Structure 1
Amino acid sequence: MEDPSIPPGLFLDAGDARPPSEQLRHRVQEGRADGTLPPGTRLPPVRRLAEALGLAPGTVAKAYRELEAAGVIETRGRQGSFVRAADRTEDLAVQAARRYAHEIAGLGLSAEQALELVAAEVARGSR
């Protein structure tokens, strides 16, 4: 049975000659590039992903460390590891969107209302 907390792009290919940690790094980088792991996607905790893939936790931890060193993901302590945007501008936009979504949720507005407000402000600012 598949674990719904594991993004679909995170799998290992038994026919791939690369070591598992390298395959995992490649899958995350590929997912970020093709949009299947968009910026802000929370990656599964090391132990959960290791169990789902049949790997030692150290193998997943190694891949996460290398991805973080390369700027592909960021780890936010106990909150977990998240896919970063490919460039700084997009990364800042994702962070702003995250703050806005949190604020909107606290106000009780729907996603549709929030998007309408953003669209109106962007249109107003582009004049």
Structure 2
Amino acid sequence: MSGDDLALVLDLDAPIPPYEQIRQQVSAHVSAGSLSAGDRLPSARALAADLGVAVGTVNRAYRELEAGGLVVSRRRTGTVVTGAPTVPDSVQRAAEELAARGRAAGLGDGALLDVLRGALLAAPAAHPVRASSPPAPAR
């Protein structure tokens, strides 16, 4: 699949904002290998028209993807996939096994994602991420 053939589906009634749905789906396509380094994504205007959302919605998704290092946006070349982050084979196999087992048990994608998010919360982080807090008042 190239960026021109990008198949995204939005659920405008979902609690997840449309920009986040776009970000998640593009990220999933990159992780699955259906989008590769060098593939161009549709222009924000074209994708917005295809999905029936505002151009700003697509621009926000593209900014989030760029912040995550999955794409780079340039004026003349548009938004281009930089590539998937390197995932160890053992982690990829475990993810595929989780997906297969979950589907075999009749779980939907949302339920599987909830299971994974729960496991992430329960697992100790190698580098804890701290929520930003306001600076302490000067004394």
Which bin holds the TM-score, normalised by the shorter protein? 0.5 to 0.7
Shift of 1:13: 3.1
How many residue pairs match? The answer is 85
| 2:3 and 2:35 in contact (8 A); partners too | no
- Tell me the equivalent position of 1:34: 32
Q: Indicate the RMSD between aligned Cα atoms, in angstroms.
A: 2.2
Structure 1 stretches of 4+ with a deviation exceeding 4 A read: none
> Which amino acid in structure 2 is aligned with residue 61 of structure 1?
N
Of 13, 19, 28, 2:11 maps to 13
| 2:72 and 2:79 in contact (8 A); partners too | yes
**What's the TM-score once normalised by structure 2's chain length?**
0.54
Post-superposition Cα deviations, 1:1-35, rounded to whole Å, max 9, x if no partner, equal: xxx97433322134643110000000110000001
Question: Tell me, which stretches of 5 or more residues in structure 1 are unaligned?
Answer: 89-127
| 1:6 and 1:49 in contact (8 A); partners too | no
SS of equivalent to 2:5: coil
Percent same amino acid among aligned pairs?
Answer: 44
Distance 1:55 1:6, change over 3 A: farther
Question: Tell me, which stretches of 5 or more residues in structure 2 are unaligned?
Answer: 87-139
| 1:10 and 1:24 in contact (8 A); partners too | yes
